[in-house]
Amino acid sequence: MVASKPLMHLGYFGRSGSFSHLAASRRFPKITLGECPTVEEAFARLVAAEFTHILVPIENGSSGIITNTADQLMRLARSESVTALQIREALAMRVQLMLMARPDSKAITKIYSHRAPFDHSRDWLHQHYPQAEQIIVESTSEAAALAAKDRSAAAIAGEQAVAQHRLKIINKHVGREVANQTTFIIVGSPLPRPAKATHTSIVFELPHKAGSLVAVLQVLSRRKLNLTKILSRPIPGRFEEYRFMIEFHGAVPQKEVAEALARLRKITTFFAVIGSYPVKKI
């Protein structure tokens, strides 16, 4: 008797109606999805095997790399017991932000949203709602839920949150002068029928001496491997030392990628590949 394959159970950052929920629903319309109010909880539940995979945002077109996601990836890279959990896909999705409030709302004195939408719409808010208090919450779906409870509040979120929380759209074009895109990643065990990988992400630490980061960049440059992301984060307890995460265009089994990874293992004090994966538009 052949054992059946375990069902995929995916957790996503935020609540129902968040942009992560929308991305998860578009990519996996037929599988079980679960809410996670924070990125940290999503990773914790993945490691605890409550989910087979998670979907979390990694980069926003306006505010850059989302650091708490990067921190969790770096932590995962440092854990020897969960090496099978890696980035399996990246999903790029255009995001349209809207200002919404209760149908009976009057003067808006406070606006809820995630930090990234506030960063994206800073100029628009300064022009249209300069006196409104801006309150940062964990997700756009939480922002919509809070606005639904307060007639003096509004939320910046996606259109998918309007019907769910019985809100009305006040403005559909928040920050539209700047194109907005969010990249999400799927983290977990290998996906069934994976697409061809196009990008690779690595995490590493370096000798605390001049030129050590330059040496890493030269390894990639000499092999014409173009960087698409780079982030440094302080190493706890090691003053002035940093852990790095880099994404570049290229993936094993390309010869130049294999050569670069082999060389990087020799010149770093810690090194881990956290995924080779395709990048898709949804």
CB 195 within 8 A of CB 89: yes
Closest CA to 87 of 8, 187, 3, 19: 187
Q: Is 161's pLDDT higher than 70? A: yes
Q: pTM value?
A: 0.88
Q: Can you tell me the distance from the alpha carbon of 157 to that of 98, in angstroms, rounded to the nearest whole number?
A: 6
Name the strands in the sheet holding 227-234, side by side, starting at the edge strand that comes first in the sequence: 227-234, 242-249, 199-205, 270-277
Return the CATH fold of 98-171: D-Maltodextrin-Binding Protein; domain 2 (3.40.190)
pLDDT on residue 1: 47
One fold for 9-95+181-188 and 98-171: yes
Q: How confident is the model at residue 276 (pLDDT cuts 50, 70, 90)?
A: very high
Domain ranges of the chain: 9-95+181-188, 98-171, 199-281
- The 10s digit of each residue's pLDDT in 191-205 is 988 899 999 999 999
- The 10s digit of each residue's pLDDT in 60-72 is 877 789 999 999 9
- The 10s digit of each residue's pLDDT in 1-34 is 444 455 899 999 988 888 999 999 999 999 989 9
What are the tokens at 181? Answer: 């895109």
81 secondary structure, DSSP code:
G
Q: Can you tell me the distance from the alpha carbon of 147 to that of 153, in angstroms, rounded to the nearest whole number?
A: 5
Is residue 125 left, alpha or beta, with left meaning phi > 0 and alpha meaning psi from -120 to 50?
alpha
CATH number belonging to the domain at 199-281, selected among 3.40.50.300, 3.90.1150.10, 3.30.830.10, 3.30.70.260: 3.30.70.260
Q: Is 80's pLDDT higher than 80? A: no
Q: According to CATH, what is the number of the domain 9-95+181-188?
A: 3.40.190.10
